[in-house]
Amino acid sequence: MTDLLIIGGGITGQVAALTAAEAGARVTIVDAQRNAGSHANAGSLHVQMQSRFLRLNPHLAENLESSLPLYLSAVTEWETLDARLGGVELTREGGLMLAENEAQLAFLHEKAERERRKGLDVEILNRDALHAIAPWLSSRIVGAELCRNEGKLNPLVANRKMRATLDALGVRHVHDRITKVEDRPRPVAHGTTAHTADAILIAAAWGAEALTTPLGLTLQTPPEPLHMNITEAGDYRIHHLVQHAERPITLKQFRSGQVVIGGGWDANLARDPRHAPTIRKTSLLGNVALAAQIAPGIGGLRVLRTWAGYNTPVDGKATIGPAHPQSRVFLALPGDAGYTLGPVTGRTAAALALGTEPPIDPAPYAPARWRA
């Protein structure tokens, strides 16, 4: 017998499983074990609005801005999870969004004002103040927005420790690809076999669209293939999560000294989205060249590994709660920055499925906006 069946074994589904199992529920995670975004993630803890999302989706800016309180809750949830797992190299020394000219700095001033109204701890730094706290930056950087709420962690450590914790709690892991969910008093997930439970929680990111359409929902969760790199170890100097006001870059350094470079450079979508995306040479070269322009000191480090993974931005707003008011099928889908939002999204959805008090008010993220 299964009390809660979770479709999707990424960080969202895992934290939902942890929440339910610690409450005494019998939990099963069903996962296709391929292309999970959590296992390709670079470990950024985003809070401020990402300029890349705003550039690509200006029509969704309101959704992202209204979700900023959820991002604040998300990093607090990660701190709790860090303690529960015995440390995942989490640090919260802030995030920097860089500007190279006055126009970019003006954009950051306007963005920071919107974020302050939502409770974020942000400040615009001029050249001198910025280079005093980040002397490794290129002289071409004229200022930045500092968001003190942001941070970073090591996802390899987090994923390994989470799996060990779930195994110790008796959470079952089943390898199967779910293709259909039936919404019944005891719902059924169909894969190579039928899986029945008291409640089903869909935490399958880009796979959620196909599963929820028969439930009368109109989610659009296309897989977005993105590129990432990691270097050999260097001196640990980059303490902040680093982004840019206009150019596609994220930069962070693990305690090991390795530098992770990403920021939304495209990878190639596989013909079958069940298969891994493949890297593009142009993204590899452009991504690392831009990183070396911003932080010249890392220019001599060798790139050890390059990979691609699927992001699922949806509409910039999380979807949390039952598919319909009386449904026993629940959704736990971050709207963007899935690794950041995954723990708070998963814990909240699991609480709703169990009938316990959720850690946040889920009403703003209810699936009602997706009902046909």
Domain holding 112: CATH number? 3.30.9.10
- Is 340 domain-assigned? yes
* 305 lies in the same domain as 165: no
Last residue of a domain, one of 287, 311, 335: 311
* 239 lies in the same domain as 354: no
- Is 194 domain-assigned? yes
**Which of 95-99, 252-256, 275-279 shows the lowest per-residue confidence on average (mean pLDDT)?**
275-279
For residue 56, give Cα distances in angstroms to 4, 52, 105, 222. Answer: 37, 6, 19, 15
* 305 lies in the same domain as 228: yes
Residue 277 has phi, psi (to 5 degrees) of -70, 160
* 229 lies in the same domain as 346: no
Angle at 169 between CA 165 and CA 170, to 5 degrees: 120
> How many structural domains does the chain have?
2
* 208 lies in the same domain as 340: yes
pLDDT digits over 23-58, tens only?
999 999 999 877 666 777 889 999 999 998 888 888
d(Cα 336, Cα 50) in Å, to the nearest integer?
10
- Tell me what the mean pLDDT of segment 359-370 comes to: 96
**Which of 80-84, 98-102, 129-133, 368-372 shows the lowest per-residue confidence on average (mean pLDDT)?**
368-372
Residues 6+ apart with CB under 8 A from 118: 65, 68, 69
* 228 lies in the same domain as 366: no
* 276 lies in the same domain as 178: no
Last residue of a domain, one of 262, 296, 311: 311
Is 184 within 8 Å of 328 (Cβ atoms)?
A: yes
Residue 108 has pLDDT above 80, yes or no: yes
* 141 lies in the same domain as 160: no
Which CB contacts under 8 angstroms, 24+ apart, belong to 181-185?
A: 181/7, 181/211, 181/212, 181/214, 181/215, 181/329, 183/215, 183/323, 183/324, 183/327, 183/328, 183/329, 184/328, 185/328
- Is 343 domain-assigned? yes
Last residue of a domain, one of 268, 288, 311: 311
- Is 319 domain-assigned? yes
Q: What is the pLDDT of residue 270?
A: 82
Identify the burial level of 219 via C-beta atoms within 10 angstroms of its C-beta, where 0-12 means exposed, 13-18 middle and 19 or more buried.
Answer: buried
- Is 48 domain-assigned? no
Identify the burial level of 210 via C-beta atoms within 10 angstroms of its C-beta, where 0-12 means exposed, 13-18 middle and 19 or more buried.
Answer: middle
* 207 lies in the same domain as 277: no
Among 147, 309, 158, 371, smallest CA distance to 240 is for 147
Among 370, 372, 325, smallest CA distance to 352 is for 325
pTM (two decimals)? 0.95
* 100 lies in the same domain as 119: yes
* 236 lies in the same domain as 301: yes
**Which of 1-15, 104-118, 219-233 shows the lowest per-residue confidence on average (mean pLDDT)?**
219-233
Residue 229 has phi, psi (to 5 degrees) of -140, 155
CATH code at 11? 3.50.50.60
Q: What is the pLDDT of residue 273?
A: 62
Residue 325 has phi, psi (to 5 degrees) of -50, -40
- Is 51 domain-assigned? no
Identify the burial level of 353 via C-beta atoms within 10 angstroms of its C-beta, where 0-12 means exposed, 13-18 middle and 19 or more buried.
Answer: buried
- Tell me what the mean pLDDT of segment 198-209 comes to: 93
- Is 85 domain-assigned? no
Instruction: Please tell me the total number of residues recorded for the chain in this structure.
Output: 372
- Is 83 domain-assigned? no
d(Cα 41, Cα 10) in Å, to the nearest integer?
10
Residues 6+ apart with CB under 8 A from 216: 323, 324, 371, 372
Residue 221 has pLDDT above 90, yes or no: no
* 15 lies in the same domain as 161: yes
Q: Which domain holds residue 363?
A: 4-39+156-221+315-370
**Which of 142-151, 209-218, 220-229 shows the lowest per-residue confidence on average (mean pLDDT)?**
220-229
Q: Tell me, rounded to whole angstroms, the distance of Cα 270 from its chain centroid.
A: 21
